[in-house]
Amino acid sequence: MDEILENYAGIDEISRALSIHAESARRLIRQGKLRGQRVGNKWLVHRSVLAEFAETYNSHPGRRSSKNKLGAMQQAELTGKVET
């Protein structure tokens, strides 16, 4: 039985692998974004599924790159194109 479970990751390992909170990992599974199985009161995800998911998962969606942090007014001032 232990050999079978070695192929699966629990919530703690999932959250560490994705750099997210444990509740966020549970939410991904419940929403069907990360394929997992509930065994008793624990969620388990096959390690190969977790590895594949982690390759494309962005734990900070919507975060802008540093060059987009300036507001429109600040950008206009820097380029000299300030509308009055």
Residue 12 belongs to domain with CATH number: 1.10.10
> What are the phi and psi torsion angles at 32 (to 5°)?
85, 10
Burial of 45 (0-12, 13-18, 19+ CB in 10 A): buried
For the whole model, what pTM was predicted? 0.67
Task: Kindly state whether residue 71 falls inside one of the protein's structural domains.
Answer: no
Task: Kindly state whether residue 80 falls inside one of the protein's structural domains.
Answer: no
For 5-55, the pLDDT digits (tens) are 899 999 999 999 999 999 999 999 999 999 999 999 999 999 999 999 999
- What single-letter amino acid sits at 77? E
Residue 81 is predicted with a pLDDT of 56
* Residue for token pair 């096959």: 46
Task: Kindly state whether residue 82 falls inside one of the protein's structural domains.
Answer: no
Task: Kindly state whether residue 75 falls inside one of the protein's structural domains.
Answer: no
* Cα(57)–Cα(76) distance, integer angstroms: 34
Q: How many domains does the chain have?
A: 1
Query: Which structural domain range is residue 38 located in?
Result: 2-59
Higher pLDDT: 4 or 12? It is 12
Task: Kindly state whether residue 66 falls inside one of the protein's structural domains.
Answer: no
Task: Kindly state whether residue 45 falls inside one of the protein's structural domains.
Answer: yes
Task: Kindly state whether residue 21 falls inside one of the protein's structural domains.
Answer: yes
* Cα(72)–Cα(68) distance, integer angstroms: 10
